[in-house]
Chain A
Amino acid sequence: MKSSIVSEVKEKNGMKDRVIYHIKDKAIWAVFLAIVVGFSLASPRFLSSSNLFIIMRQVSMYGIASVGMMFVILTGGIDLSTGSVITIVNVVCAHLMVKMGFGMVSAVLVSLLLSVFIGLLNGFMVATIRMPAIIATFASQIVFAGCAYLLSGGVPIYGFDPRFKVIGQGYVKAVPVPVIIMSVCFAIGSFILNKTYFGRYFYAIGGNEEASKLSGIKVSSIKYLVYALSGLFAGLAGIVMLSRTNSAQPTAGNGYEFDVITCVVLGGVSVAGGYGKISNVIAGVLIIGVLTNGMVLLNVSTYMQMVVKGIVLALAVGFDCLQKKRALT
């Protein structure tokens, strides 16, 4: 008798708990909707199906790279080399195809291997040498931006096999191929984080590295893994970009990492590591995409766009911190 009452109370509390949790969790989607409504009132073109597809195509690169970035940030690290990985993948892939006569597939594979290698290098500096992630990946950002410039001689490379366009510009039925690639990346990310044991380790390491080690987690191996994955996803974003623009610019990915970090943090991933959900990162990516697109439609200047994005980032993180503070007192 008594125990049934207890469990009933538990159940009721559990319900209330879950409802509050859900509302809090979905706040970011509410923000997304608010922005969408705002822009569609301000510009009739915004909600047109052609514009929606443009948005989706635009965000796909952010989306793809954000999966890897999220892994790294979850473990308490950061990857500042993302932009340079995108650039070097652009340049190397183009170079292989145009200057060295590689086939499309092998050029893509070699470039992706290179991006994994850069990730492993970051992993080596962070996990084995124990350099602070922000410095280690900053160093590789500079190095590989330089390499890309040296390799390309500072001029764009173009003239690819026409079939290469499919990756960035093609459609399957009515859905753009990059959107499909992004969705697959999110699905993989979600699978890793929610279903696999090493996904749990990402959270554990970001939460308490020492305790993770004592729980039998091979912290360095996992760090190599997250940086390698971050490199790989950035490389994939680079390939999509190359196919979209159909020419490799020696500065293609410059500054990209900050947009990607913004997407991830906007999605509520704790910068200190240990906490974050991929569904909210998707919302973060969409918000940035919609904001950029909407402001372009409304003819907002690039500098004004920077101001707005910066404020959005500060608001998002500030809101998150306030919530945490409230939960504790």
Chain B
Amino acid sequence: MGENYVLQLKNIRKEYPGVTALKDVSLGVKPGEILALIGENGAGKSTLIKTCSGAVVPTSGKIVINGKEFSSMTPQLAAENGIAIIYQEFSSVRELSAAENLFLGNPIRRGILVDKKAMEREAEKAFAQLNIDINPKTLVGDLTVGYQQMIEIAKAVKQDAQVLIMDEPSAPLTSSEVESMFKVCQLLKSQGVSIIYISHRLDEVMYLSDRIVVLRDGEYIDTLITSETNVDELIRLMVGRDLKESYPPRDVKINSEEIVLELQNVSGNGTEDINLKVRKGEVLGLGGLVGAGRTELGQLIFGSAHKTSGKIIFKGKEINPKNPRQAIDLGIALVPEDRKRHGILAEISVKNNINMPIYKKISRMSVIQSKKEVENATTYQESLLIKTPTIHQSVKNLSGGNQQKVILGRWLAANSELIIFDEPTRGIDVGAKFEIYKLINSLVESGKTIILISSEMEELMGMSDRIIVLAEGRITGELQRDQFDQEAIMRLASRVQEA
């Protein structure tokens, strides 16, 4: 039976102290197919695929590649056997050019010198083969995440990968970038390459994959033929119960008199001449393409970047936060989008991560009141369904989605009046997403105000009371709830200012 699989995982088990991440999971990948791998945060998806490269050594189980059996892998072995992996949080070397990144680890050499010209020529060919438009000389740090990912894919192809494994590749991408990634995937498939595709976006999975494997709590649940299933069934298998993926209703009367935040002609940090008002109890959505200046605007309000002109008025008073501490003390919070760089304190426990912004507040004469600290952490662990054996676990040991939830918990604990959410549900599973939406609702119901930045159109329209769209650092339009429409938002988002 082994013949019709390029890659087979047999009874893979992985135990960590206190957690069994995988319980005898088996699956097989056929040549030239796209196999999707889905499951809730912490289901074991990343752990499973890491066993294919040796980044994780399974406690027991076998990995079979083209009939050859291995009990554990190393990155070299994986590469030699045609397995390439693009990790959930991949990192390219920002200071090197696209070509140099492509040849990282085995540069083309002439004697002991690297042959830059040859690498650039080869890189150009490799990119052309995948129809991607990158100048090999560009520094990777200057490219968007989408292009950086393309380079990773090109690297895999260059190594003659037979199986390409991608862990949540679409999470950091814009919708048009996702489309070009799909094209590359399909091109590879037509060349006989198999792909394992991990994603929380079920519509992508339905569109792209041939078969779908579902994991839950480290256990194999089922394999489905994509054309014979639907999103509801997938959710049921993932979560273990019925769940309508939708937006919970909320019961808030927005007080149009009470303006919590007002920006007057604010410029700086890549934004220009921003005028907007946010009313108490409102969820204001900020729409636009990645790079439109939404994150940058959030940073201005939060004091992690500075405006060059204009006024920020918070609760009737002009404010000028010089750093995040001042903004936090005023009652403003920002949940950052880049959790690895701006979010997690990896070595530190879940409990300490959640309490970080409020330690001073819960201290008496500099001494932390440990009861409050534990209470806080437990509250958010439970309400956000953070999957961890104890709140004393280091955050680095949590799955990607659960790390994201810890950061959310941190900012909910800060109990701020205005909370800016920058892509709050990126990489978060359907069940927890719904919980986060409910939380946002209960926040506004209790009188808080929210600015929601999201690239997921559905989420933006589902959760906002009003949407302001930005393009190239300027506001291009505003939509009231009854005017919400995907096309209208896209049109505003891609509108380029004349002069």
Interface residues of A (CB under 8 A from B): 10, 13-14, 16-17, 20-21, 195-198, 200-201, 203-204, 206-208, 210-218, 270, 274-275, 328-329
- A117 CA to B316 CA, complexed, in Å: 43
Given known contacts A203-B352, A214-B304, is B325 in contact with A196 (CB within 8 Å)?
no
Q: Is the CB of B389 within 8 A of A208?
A: no
Task: Please indicate the chain B residues that have their CB under 8 angstroms from the CB of A328 in the complex.
Answer: 55
Asked if A211 and B325 make an inter-chain contact with CB atoms under 8 angstroms apart, the answer reads: no
Interface of A is mostly: helix
B414 contact set on A, CB distance < 8 A: 216
Chain B residues within 8 Å of chain A by Cβ, number: 40
Q: Is the CB of A214 within 8 A of B342?
A: yes
**Contact of B350 with A by CB under 8 A:** no
Are A214 and B334 in contact, CB atoms less than 8 angstroms apart? yes
Q: Is B490 an interface residue (CB 8 A)?
A: no
Q: Are A216 and B325 in contact (CB under 8 A)?
A: yes
| B324 A16 Cβ-Cβ under 8 A | no
Q: A213 and B323: CB pair below 8 A?
A: yes
Q: How far is the CA of A217 from the CA of B329 in the complex (A)?
A: 11
Residue contact A218 to B325, C-beta cutoff 8 Å = yes
Q: List the B side residues contacting A216 at CB < 8 Å.
A: 324-325, 327-329, 356-357, 414
18 CB contacts below 8 A, A to B, read A13-B17, A13-B18, A17-B17, A196-B368, A197-B359, A198-B366, A200-B368, A204-B345, A204-B352, A207-B345, A207-B348, A211-B342, A213-B324, A214-B336, A215-B356, A216-B329, A328-B55, A329-B55
B347 contacts A16, C-beta separation under 8 Å: no
Do A210 and B348 have beta carbons less than 8 Å apart? no
Q: Decide if A208 touches B367 in the complex (CB within 8 Å).
A: no
In whole angstroms, how far apart are the Cα atoms of A73 and B302 in the complex? Answer: 29
Decide yes or no: A197 and B360 within 8 Å by CB, A10-B389, A203-B352, A207-B346 being known contacts. Answer: yes
Q: Is B56 in contact with chain A by the CB < 8 A criterion?
A: yes
Q: Which B residues are in CB contact (< 8 Å) with A207?
A: 345-348
- Is B56 a contact partner of A211 (Cβ separation < 8 A)? no
What is the CB-to-nearest-CB distance from B302 to chain A, in angstroms, rounded to a whole number?
Answer: 8
Chain A positions within 8 Å of B327 at CB level = 216
B34 sits at the interface (CB 8 A): no
Residues of B within 8 Å of A16, CB to CB, are 17-18
Inter-chain CA distance A200–B19, complex, in Å, is 26
Task: Give the complex CA separation of A10 and B391 in angstroms.
Answer: 12
Contacts A200-B356, A211-B336, A213-B324 supplied; 6 other A-B pairs, CB < 8 Å: A16-B18, A196-B368, A203-B347, A203-B352, A207-B348, A274-B345
Instruction: Give the docked Cα–Cα distance between A10 and B388 (Å).
Output: 10
Give the 10 A-B residue pairs with the shortest CB-CB distance, closest first: A197-B359, A17-B18, A216-B328, A207-B345, A13-B18, A215-B356, A274-B347, A216-B325, A197-B363, A196-B366
The distance in angstroms between the C-alpha atoms of A270 and B347, with both chains bound, is: 10
Known: A13-B18, A16-B18, A214-B334. A195 touches B345 (CB 8 A): no
Q: State in angstroms the CA–CA spacing of A16 and B329 once bound together.
A: 41
Most buried by B among A21, A195, A216: A216
- Against A, the Cβ 8 Å flags (1 = close, 0 = not) of B298-332 are 00001010000000000000000001110111000
Chain B residues closer than 8 Å to A195, beta-carbon distance: 367-368
Instruction: Give bound CA distance, A218 to B324, whole Å.
Output: 9
Cβ contact of A211, chosen from B323, B328, B341, B367, cutoff 8 A: B341
Question: What is the bound-complex CA distance between A25 and B279, given in angstroms?
Answer: 52
CA distance A200 to B348 in the complex (A): 9
B304 touches A208 (CB 8 A): no
State whether B348 touches A274 (Cβ < 8 A): yes
Give CA–CA (A201, B325) in the complex, Å: 13
Flag B1-38 by CB within 8 Å of A: 1 or 0 each: 00000000000000001110000000000000000000
Distance of A204 Cα from B324 Cα, bound (Å): 15
Which chain B residues lie closer than 8 Å to A201 at the CB level?
359
Smallest CB gap from B336: residue in A = A214
